[in-house]
Structure 1
Amino acid sequence: MTIFYLCIVKNSKPYNDLGDFLRDLFPYKVQKISLNAGFTCPNRDGSKGWGGCTYCNNQTFSPDYCHTDKGIKEQLGEGVQFFGRKYPDMKYLAYFQAYTNTYDEFERLKVFYENALRYPDVVGLIVGTRPDCMPDQLLDYFAELSRKTFVMVEYGLESTLDKTLERINRGHTHAESEEAIRRTAAKGIYTGAHLILGLPGESREEILHHADVVSALPLTTVKLHQLQLIRKTKMALEYRENPEDFHLFTVDEYIDLVIDFVERMNPAITIERFVSQSPKELLIAPDWGLKNYEFTAKVLKRMEERGAYQGRTFTPLL
């Protein structure tokens, strides 16, 4: 029997948009403020490995205000000042983004999170981390906290294929990713996942199959990134030595890939974004010269041309 799913969206968008998700939760505008608390990762300090993920240079997602020589309160203050100029009534979500933000002693982590939540106009917490760095004690703490304020845990999956996770030096398996997501969602905590589309060694069909796999998980949000080659990373060296191992998508190729991906996704999941935008001085390739909102506009136009929408070809995994 064939099962058909209808993606019910708002504002005529053909996919579930993060803005609509947040508008349903908050009676005011909210903005994420990225924070760098100075954490490291278990595959950088020798616990799991050395050198970090092969694609990773954390400078690519650190705004000017987001540096470890500034405390959490100072980073929040500069972020609020930056965004508050345009929207004085804006509220904020403290986004612990850089590196692994659950990789420390429990009591020390609590101080960081609670200092952020005490900052004026901060109405919630988003914590980016790895699937292998969520102890039960911390998960129980997040569950208790989520009963009083907005809490989301975002896990870096990057791929659902173990062969890829090993190649990019992630230091965890996909089974660990699934376990962490299910444990987190079972506690009633909003749960997100990151995926990089276009990692070396993955075919187009393998990339699209990530959509099938994550669609079977109890995820609130999914954030998609195109593969970007960044200076001062091991992957940049790999590309220089073996460029034939990489397929760097053109804008049009990636737009069609993303749309095919979205059509295979569970329509209940919110899509946070399609691309990331690294600083030009760090980016080797692909350099599309598009801001995130410009890329999204192109996706929407192409989806309209194709009659595409989230979940159109979604089939639950058996």
Structure 2
Amino acid sequence: MSSTEHFYSLNRFLREAHGSKVIKLSIDGGFTCPNRDGKLSTKGCLFCSAEGSGDFTPSAQLSITQQLHSALDLVSKKWPQSTKYIAYFQSYTNTYAPLATLKAKYEEALAFPQLVGLAIATRPDCLEDETVAYLQELSTRTHLWIELGLQTSNEASARQMNRGYTLDCFKDAVFKLASYGIEVVAHLIIGLPGETLEDYLATARFIGQLPLQGVKIHMLHILDDSPLGRIYQKNPFPLLTEEEYIFAVGEILKLLPSHFVIHRLTGDGAGDHLLAPLWTRNKKQVLNHLNHYLKLHDIYQGKF
């Protein structure tokens, strides 16, 4: 990082890798999840929306190609000059299907014009050996990364949120994918019920020891179509303020290795479903306040 940068952004990483602005096109592969279909549970992770965290994807009733065109229409209004894209399989668990099904969907996406990569969100307990072998082969043909939802390294919090797998399961999946040369991105949620700053920092220290390519960090969103949202409506619990969240992100960044790509520092909650915290609706303002805070306090990724 240069002396004026406070973290290694995804935008910079993709520009370095592909020589231009690269935009992610979010799509719904039509998958489900073992935490929803009864294999593990029918409740899902308590914080997860009815759309499986794919609230901004096109309809799964459309083909992969149709969804990519639809997503492209939306982003082209904001980035009309971009010529390169990554297909982001976002909703639910995108390796939870027979290999033939996965191949059909991934290969259809790869046929989309000017696509330079695939980002695949999944669970660490849904990575069969034959699937990982295929992902390795894919990674030789396109820029591929796998996104795994850790959220927290606190096992008690994970059980409370009905995550459905252990910390060892997550760690084993990261090392397995890395051994195949596949890039891995971890998701973290700040503000889970009962967690404190020390929990967030413990999670940061935990992932800092893993062979990850990057990390996504965002605030806990309380959505009215999630199990946690229904709990919150009956018995509201404390949530972080914007100032508390920004402070926590700054402390986390200090602990993360400088080579980790920061894919996200805040997130979007679907406006129609967001119960709280309402300050997260203004993503641009949150990022502006965060960048000002990092500059003011001379905070940069890997400082400690």
TM interval, short-chain normalised: over 0.9
1:89 offset after TM fit, Å? 4.5
- Which residues in structure 2 correspond to 1:168-207 (within 5 Å)? 168-207=161-200
1:38 to 21, 30, 48: 30
1:224 to 217, 240, 259: 217
Residue 162 of structure 2 aligns with an amino acid whose one-letter code is N
Question: Partner residue of 2:4?
Answer: 12
TM-score calculated relative to the size of structure 2: 0.95
Question: Partner residue of 2:72?
Answer: 80
- Which residues in structure 2 correspond to 1:287-302 (within 5 Å)? 287-288=278-279, 290-302=281-293
Question: Partner residue of 1:5?
Answer: none
CA contact (8 A) 1:191 1:219 kept: yes
Give distance in 2, aligned partners of 1:220 and 1:159. Answer: 18
Pair 1:71–1:229, CA change in 2 (3 A): same
Gap runs ≥5 in structure 2? none
TM-score calculated relative to the size of structure 1: 0.91
Residue 303 of structure 2 aligns with an amino acid whose one-letter code is R
Is 1:247 paired with 2:238? yes
**1:116-174 deviations in whole A, cap 9, x for unaligned?**
00011111111000010011111111111111210000001111121111111111111
SS of 2:233 mapped into structure 1: helix
1:290 offset after TM fit, Å? 4.6
Question: Partner residue of 1:126?
Answer: 119
Residue 66 of structure 1 aligns with an amino acid whose one-letter code is P
**1:5-28 deviations in whole A, cap 9, x for unaligned?**
xxxx14821111111111110022
Give distance in 2, aligned partners of 1:122 and 1:110. Answer: 16
Give distance in 2, aligned partners of 1:151 and 1:229. Answer: 30
Question: Partner residue of 1:103?
Answer: 96
Pair 1:89–1:168, CA change in 2 (3 A): closer
1:147 to 134, 140, 150: 140
**1:259-302 deviations in whole A, cap 9, x for unaligned?**
01111112221111111111222000100055333322211111
Is 1:62 paired with 2:55? yes
**1:223-269 deviations in whole A, cap 9, x for unaligned?**
011011100221122223443xx331111111111101111112221
Give distance in 2, aligned partners of 1:127 and 1:146. Answer: 12
Give distance in 1, aligned partners of 2:3 and 2:58. Answer: 33
- Give identity over the alignment, percent: 34
Give distance in 2, aligned partners of 1:83 and 1:158. Answer: 28
Pair 1:223–1:89, CA change in 2 (3 A): closer
List 4+ stretches of structure 1 deviating above 6 A: none
Is 1:159 paired with 2:128? no
Give distance in 2, aligned partners of 1:68 and 1:287. Answer: 28
Give distance in 1, aligned partners of 2:187 and 2:149. Answer: 5
CA contact (8 A) 1:153 1:190 kept: yes
Q: Give the aligned length.
A: 302
1:209 offset after TM fit, Å? 1.1
Is 1:49 paired with 2:41? yes
Give distance in 2, aligned partners of 1:305 and 1:207. Answer: 22
After superposing the two structures, state which structure 1 stretch, 281-290 or 16-25, moved more.
281-290
Gap runs ≥5 in structure 1? 1-8, 314-318
CA contact (8 A) 2:28 2:54 kept: no
Residue 171 of structure 1 aligns with an amino acid whose one-letter code is G
Give distance in 1, aligned partners of 2:93 and 2:197. Answer: 29
CA contact (8 A) 1:35 1:95 kept: yes
After superposing the two structures, state which structure 1 stretch, 87-96 or 257-266, moved more.
87-96
Question: Partner residue of 1:261?
Answer: 252
SS of 1:308 mapped into structure 2: coil
1:84 offset after TM fit, Å? 3.0
SS of 1:288 mapped into structure 2: helix
CA contact (8 A) 1:58 1:99 kept: no
